[in-house]
Amino acid sequence: MTTVRSQAFDHGKSTEMLETDEPNLQVARFPKNATCAVTTSWDDNDDANMEILRILDSMGLKGTFYVDPGNPGARWAVGNGLTESQLRKLAKDNEVGSHTWSHRNLRQCDANVLREELTRSKEYIQSITKCPVLGLAYPWGEHSLTVQRAVQECGYLFARTVDEGSTTFPPLSPYVWGVSVQALARPRLLSRKAHIYVKNLASDWCKLALKLFERARRTTGVWHLFGHASEILRKPGLKDDLLQVFRYVACREDVWYTTNGMLFLNEMVRRGVRISRSRHDGNLVFRVEARFSPETLPYEIQVPLRLVVPADWADGFNVEVTAAGSGRFAMGRAMGQTWIDLFGSGVKIEVVREQSV
C-alpha cells in the first residue's frame, strides 16, 4: 500500500549509503514522461498573433510570442501592433518573449544600443504581463558571440535563432537555439536554408515538419515550429498547410505541449535534481531534492518534475514529503507507470522501499 506522510527528513538516524548502482527512482526527461515535447514560436509585434493564439488553443498546443514593442507593426503585417490587453492575453496561458525593442540587427549595434534593445523590451513586456521574459528571438536570426554574451548578461535564459533542422535538446549553447522547421511557403532553391530540405530528404516544409516530428518521438527530442502570423494567414494555402501539420502533432497523450521557456526551465530543474540512495533499518531509501538558484528567476514559477517509480514496486513504498513555500507534489498512475510529480523548488521527498514488501 502506498502511503504519503508530510514531515521533515529524519537526519538523526544512521544510514548506510549505497555507492554501487544508479538509483532505481528515475527522473523523467519531460513532464508526464512524454516521448517528446512540442513547442511553437511566433515573431513580431503583430496583432495577427491573436488568430494564431486561437488556433493553438483550439488544438491544445502552446506558443511563445516574441514581441518587439517599439515596432508599430510587423513587416509582414496587414494589421496593427499588439495592445497591452492583447499582450496580457498572450501571456496568460502561453508565453511572451522579447524580439528586442525595435527589431534592430543586433550585430550592427554598439554596446549601449545593444543593451537598450535587450533590456527595454524585456522590462516593458514584464511590466505589462506581470510574467517573466525568459527568452529572446534574434531579429532575422542575426547574432554573434558579443551579442550572445550581452543577452546572457541582460538576464535571458536562452535565445532562439532561425536555423532549421534540429530536434535535439538542450542545445550546445542556450543562446544559439535553433528550430525544427519554419512555416514558410518554399522551396527557395537558392536559399541558405535549402540544404535543410536536401539533408532531410523533404521537398517542402510540411513534409519536413512531419519527418522531424517523428524523429523527435524516436529520440525523446523537441519539435519546434516557428513562423510569422500575418505571413501564414495571408499567403494562399499556407494556413491550410499549418492546420494540417498541427492536426498531425496535436492531441497525443505521449507528447508534452509546452512553451519555449518551460522547456529550458524543465531542463534546469532536471539538472538540479539530486537523488541519494541509502539503507535505513533494512529499507531502501531515496532522498530527492530539486535545487536551483532562486536568483535565477525573479518570479515564482512551478515546473513539474516527474519521478518514475520502478514498475516492480507496485504499491510497496512510502513517500515522506517536506514542502516549503508554494512547493507541492502529486502522485498517480498513467500509461502503466506509478509517478510522483514535484512542483517548485521547495519540495523535498523521501521514497522508502520497505524490506517487508
Residues near 120 by beta carbon (within 8 Å), at least 6 away in sequence: 70, 101
Q: Give the pLDDT confidence score for residue 151 in this predicted structure.
A: 98
Domains of the chain: 3-29+271-353 (2.60.220), 35-253 (3.20.20.370)
The average pLDDT across 135-155 equals 97
Q: Give the pLDDT confidence score for residue 344 in this predicted structure.
A: 63
> For residue 332, how many C-alpha atoms fall within 13 Å in the half-sphere facing its CB?
10
Measured CA to CA, the distance from residue 316 to residue 239 in angstroms comes to: 51
Measured CA to CA, the distance from residue 237 to residue 319 in angstroms comes to: 54
Q: What is the mean pLDDT of the chain?
A: 82
Report the sign of the C-alpha dihedral through residues 194, 196, 197, 199, in that order.
positive
* 16 vs 151 pLDDT, higher one: 151
* 114 vs 283 pLDDT, higher one: 114
Residue 175 has pLDDT above 80, yes or no: yes
Measured CA to CA, the distance from residue 181 to residue 239 in angstroms comes to: 15
Q: Give the pLDDT confidence score for residue 339 in this predicted structure.
A: 76
Q: Give the pLDDT confidence score for residue 12 in this predicted structure.
A: 36
Q: Give the pLDDT confidence score for residue 219 in this predicted structure.
A: 97
- Residue 78: pLDDT band (50, 70, 90) is low
The average pLDDT across 25-37 equals 89
* 193 vs 2 pLDDT, higher one: 193
- Residue 97 buriedness (CB in 10 A; 0-12 / 13-18 / 19+): buried
> All 3 cell numbers of residue 326?
508554494
* 252-305 pLDDT tens trace: 999 999 999 999 988 887 887 888 888 888 787 888 876 665 555 545 666 777
Kindly report which listed range (5-14, 114-123, 278-287, 329-338) carries the lowest average pLDDT score: 5-14
pTM recorded for the entire structure: 0.85
Q: Give the pLDDT confidence score for residue 245 in this predicted structure.
A: 98
